[in-house]
Amino acid sequence: MPETVVKIENLVKRYKELIALDHFSLEIFDGEIFGLLGPNGSGKTTTINCLLSLLAFNKGSIEIFGEKMKPDNYNIKRQIGIIMQNVAVINELTVYENIDYFCGLYIRDKEQRKKCVQEAIEFVGLEDFAKFRPKKLSGGLLRRLNIACGIAHKPKLIILDEPTVAVDPQSRNKILEGIVELNRRGATVIYTSHYMEEVEQICTQIAIMDKGRQIAIGTKEELKKQIKDTEKITVEVMDISDEQLCMVRELPHIGEAVFQGGKLCVKYHGGKHNLIRLLTLLQEQEIKFGRVFSEEPTLNDVFLEITGKQLRDN
Ligand code: ADP
Ligand code: MG
């Protein structure tokens, strides 16, 4: 059994009347890339700020590496690397000096620090920009600098709060690959995002948040198993009569079948060979069909099933 790295129990955080965290609990084990997925305003950043003792909370408890987290627990703090949602670097310092500054908060030895800073620069791919000041960097490069500042001292627990918001695809991929690599080298990672695709791509455990509460937790496979609509098939058809649509609805495992805008959309509750059965029926009925799409459920479907609303902004 891996060790517990973070244990949050029944955390309550109020901003005046607003309950930002509502009895929120979480356990994160050593070696995980733990994804905190939730729409904007669900309480991700508030959770991170409480975790770091940057924000006082009303109720609950937080343990990190088996110790109670407190504002002056520097033994814990030095083992954490934090990459904030809002980029936090010093504009007057160059890329190298910024990383050196943040690394210097943890590592006094000059030689050791020099090595760490150089490694961090290479890790995020900023070799060509070491002498640049932050203002000269694009959004994506600035994010990478922010990450380098947070990881140079080789922390055991790395927390990244929405590190891919407003970055170009190239930097985004670099960041996601970097997170996986840091984890492979032994760090436990907490990664918050409202992009379900990214969370699915890299996280070994996922907690879904909404309105300050944890509404689901598990691996992506476990989360998807929780929802009834395990398969969605869409077929482009010219026309289908009401009678024929009823025949579709009588097929096994059908949850819902609708015809709209030249598309027949069918949702299934489990079952096997759903696609072949559907296409056979269409052929028998001499219904002409075009393209066929079969979709696995997404984490958005999980969110929709539990909350009744979309996780995506669109
Ligand atoms: P997320 O990071 O998931 O987008 P936040 O933790 O930033 O969510 O916010 C959770 C809720 O708390 C939101 O409704 C937000 O408006 C509110 N909130 C966050 N910070 C403050 C603050 N300093 N004062 C008042 N309300 C806040
Ligand atoms: Mg946030």
pLDDT tens by residue, 39-74: 999 999 999 999 999 999 999 999 999 999 999 999
Which two three-digit tokens encode residue 93?
């310092």
pLDDT score recorded for residue 229: 64
pTM of the predicted protein model: 0.85
> Rounded to whole angstroms, how far apart are CA atoms 151 and 289?
54
Q: Ligand 2 centroid vs 52 CA: distance in angstroms?
A: 14
Residue 30: is its pLDDT beyond 50?
Answer: yes
- 54 in contact with ligand 1, CB cutoff 6 A: no
Neighbours of 94 (CB within 10 A): 17
Q: List alpha helices for the chain, DSSP H.
A: 44-51, 74-77, 95-104, 110-124, 139-151, 169-184, 196-202, 220-225, 242-249, 274-284, 299-307
pLDDT tens by residue, 244-302: 999 999 999 998 999 999 999 998 887 888 999 999 999 999 999 999 998 878 888 88
- 193 in contact with ligand 1, CB cutoff 6 A: no
Residue 137: is its pLDDT beyond 80?
Answer: yes
> Rounded to whole angstroms, how far apart are CA atoms 11 and 19?
11
What is the number of the ligand 1 atom nearest to the C-alpha of 46?
6
- Mean pLDDT throughout 194-223? 94
Using a CB cutoff of 5 Å, list residues around ligand 2, an ion: 44-45, 85
For ligand 1, pick from 46, 190, 303 the residue to mutate: most ligand atoms within 8 Å of CB.
46
Instruction: Note whether 202 and 256 are within 8 A (CB).
Output: no
> Rounded to whole angstroms, how far apart are CA atoms 305 and 250?
24
pLDDT score recorded for residue 314: 42
* Residue position matching structure tokens 């002498």: 131
Length of the chain, in residues: 314
Mean pLDDT in the chain?
93
* Residue position matching structure tokens 């950043």: 45
The rounded Cα 217 to chain-centroid distance in angstroms is: 12
Residue 183: is its pLDDT beyond 50?
Answer: yes
Q: Ligand 1 centroid vs 211 CA: distance in angstroms?
A: 10
Q: Ligand 1 centroid vs 6 CA: distance in angstroms?
A: 22
Q: Ligand 2 centroid vs 44 CA: distance in angstroms?
A: 5
Q: How far apart are the first and last CA of the chain?
A: 40
pLDDT tens by residue, 230-249: 788 999 999 999 999 999 99
Q: Is 308 exposed, middle or buried (0-12, 13-18, 19+ CB in 10 A)?
A: exposed
pLDDT band at 228 (very low <50, low <70, confident <90, very high): low
Instruction: Note whether 298 and 219 are within 8 A (CB).
Output: no
Instruction: Note whether 158 and 189 are within 8 A (CB).
Output: yes
